[in-house]
Amino acid sequence: MKPNLFEALPAQSSDESFQDLLKVPGLRIERIVSHGHASPPGFWYEQDWDEWVLVLRGRAQLQIERQDALVTLQPGDHCWLPAGCRHRVVSTAPGEPTLWLAVHHTR
Amino acid sequence: MKPNLFEALPAQSSDESFQDLLKVPGLRIERIVSHGHASPPGFWYEQDWDEWVLVLRGRAQLQIERQDALVTLQPGDHCWLPAGCRHRVVSTAPGEPTLWLAVHHTR
């Protein structure tokens, strides 16, 4: 059995945590734990693979290039970021862990 | 925004529920809600694609061919079922919804 998704959450004082739950050709499933972390000003993720993200705890706001409104993700909310879709994390909840599941997919 | 994963859970009396959250070439992400459902006796899933399953609520037991022990999945537990891995659902929790996230991946 692989590590439980909800266990061993890193402490508040930690760096943002990234842990691969699965990695096979074309597919990587990752647990991310943020503690108020956000993308640096002016930084954009731009990936040549697709990403589907789901927030399971906490709260996050994403900015997607050429979209006026921010995307707010609360537990159970998910967002599809196809390859090449420039995006950044505007904020994650302060004072509690934000737990993400990210599914990275290469076509 | 796509429907929240934790909302609009079907009622206890319902059939097992399957809902695609995402479907693109090579990748399908599905929400499954079981209410004590299990695979029929002697039935085995045998798929020509990979599947990664995560239980988020409830409880499930999987049987995997050629493995002696059953795999028990509680919230946060996940299991990798590569293509061709014959498996069946032995049980899901009675009296409460078992919420699964299934990532189906074609190589």
Interface predicted TM-score (ipTM) of this complex, two decimals:
0.94
Is the pLDDT reported for residue A103 higher than 80?
A: yes
pLDDT of residue B107: 87
Question: Confidence class of residue B72 from pLDDT cuts 50, 70 and 90?
Answer: very high
> How far apart are the C-alpha atoms of A20 and A89, rounded to whole Å?
20
Query: For B20, how many CA atoms within 13 A lie in the half-sphere containing its CB?
Result: 6
* B95 near A CB under 8 A: no
Q: Which residues contact A49 (CB under 8 A, 6 or more apart)?
A: A83, A104, A105, A106, A107
For the whole model, what pTM was predicted? Answer: 0.95
* End-to-end CA separation in angstroms for chain B: 28
Residue recorded with tokens 């739950």: A21
Is the per-residue pLDDT at B53 higher than 80?
yes
% of chain A exceeding 70 in pLDDT:
99
Express each pLDDT in B14-28 by its tens digit.
Answer: 789 999 999 999 999
User: What pLDDT, on a 0 to 100 scale, did the predictor assign at position A1?
Assistant: 55
Q: What is the DSSP string of B44-80?
A: -B--SSEEEEEEEES-EEEEETT-SSPEEE-TT-EEE
Q: What are phi and psi of A91, to 5 degrees?
A: -160, 155
Backbone angles phi, psi at A9, to 5 degrees: -70, 135
CA A4 to chain B, closest CA, distance in angstroms equals: 5
Mean pLDDT on B49-70:
97
Cβ(B65)–Cβ(B45) under 8 Å?
no
Among residues 22-81 of chain B, which lie with CB inside 8 Å of chain A?
A: 22, 24-27, 29, 50, 52, 54, 56, 71, 74-80
Query: Out of A9-18, A33-42, B18-27, B66-75, which region has the weakest mean confidence (pLDDT)?
Result: A9-18
Closest residue in B to A78 (Cα) is: B2
Q: How confident is the model at residue B38 (pLDDT cuts 50, 70, 90)?
A: very high
Look-up: residue for tokens 């299990």? B38
pLDDT at A3: 86
- Please name the amino acid found at residue B49: W
Which value, in Å, is the radius of gyration of the alpha carbons in chain A?
Answer: 13
